[in-house]
Amino acid sequence: MGNGNYSQAAHQALLKKRASLPTEKVFTQSSCHPLMNPKGVRLRESRDSDEHPQSLGIVFALDVSGSMASIPREIATKYLPDFMKVLYDCQIPDPQLLFMAFGDALHNRAPLQVGQFETTAELMDQWLTNVYLESGGGSQYESYELAMYFLATHTEMDCVIKRNKRGYMFMTGDEIPYPRLAKNVIEGIIGDKLDDDLTTEEIVAELQKTYTPFFIIPDLHRAQRCERRWRDLLGDHVLVLESSEDVTYVSAGAILINEGIVSNMNELVAQLQNAGMPAERQGQIVRALTPFAELSFTAKVTPNAPKDGKESPSWKKWVGKIFD
């Protein structure tokens, strides 16, 4: 997927039409959209084309349980065009976005929903607003590991295959993942048959071979209950916000930092201001990115190269079961 060209004007026009609409008029699904059902999906693909020879896969994996459902609305009614403007202004040539949503595999009717990688404003918007915002939430866990498993095993990107360059995953959430992903959950929701359950650590290790993952916590209060666990898994790739409205600006900033496009926070702020970052939120956006930026600005590494390391035994058994 990923054909067509992105238009900032077309994207802004889409959002302007719905800016004042209630959430239920923006997200109209009453169950998982059939085209977003992951059961039996072999691959979601980000591919090069004549129009887009340098495709870069970017995933927004959105927790839509309970109060987290406000973030998809903010992206769909206000801020996604600004994210895209940052990328294009900074000459990230061919971004292709995939939206996925998840909840709790043990309690929700639609615990995983997966769109396609897209380039045009219209198709990005279509997949995002096709998400079913299921009510619920409030438990200690959500099925973050299920969403990461799908990305690790059922997506394929030419940026990785052709250019040895990882894509990006930005996952929102305010809880911790389950410690293990049960094989019966995988089979029931995705259709893969595995011999054993998988630990969340195994899944993260496989995800990191093809994605640079970030976990975004929407505010300082909710960070108290989940930040420690996510830092154990992802280190400085945990971004703690002060307002959920900052998701797209912080995500764009993380890409600019990781790609080496900016070399200090002043350059980063200038790029985000040019895209429309409100002046009153500049401080909190900078604070959310500072721990990651401090590490990245001092590191001398190739941006976004796939992680080295031997193939884990778990990966071998996954491949044999999924693609036989």
The domain that contains 48 carries what CATH number? 3.40.50.410
b/e burial code for range 99-138 (CB count within 10 A of at least 16 → b)? bbbbbbbebbebbbbbbbbbbbbebbbbbbbbbbbbeebe
| 3 belongs to a structural domain | no
| 2 belongs to a structural domain | no
Q: Check if the beta carbon of residue 26 is closer than 8 Å to that of residue 77.
A: yes
Element (H, E) at 141: strand 141-142
pLDDT reading at 316 higher than 50: no
Compute the average pLDDT of residues 218-240. 97
| 35 belongs to a structural domain | yes
pLDDT of 313? 40
Read off the pLDDT of residues 271-309 as tens digits, 9 standing for 90 and up.
999 999 999 999 999 999 999 999 888 764 445 666 654
| 1 belongs to a structural domain | no
**Domains identified in the chain, total number:** 1
| 249 belongs to a structural domain | yes
Compute the average pLDDT of residues 146-161. 98
Domain hosting 276: range is 8-322
| 308 belongs to a structural domain | yes
pTM of the model: 0.92
Instruction: Band the pLDDT of 2: cuts 50, 70, 90.
Output: low
pLDDT of 303? 55
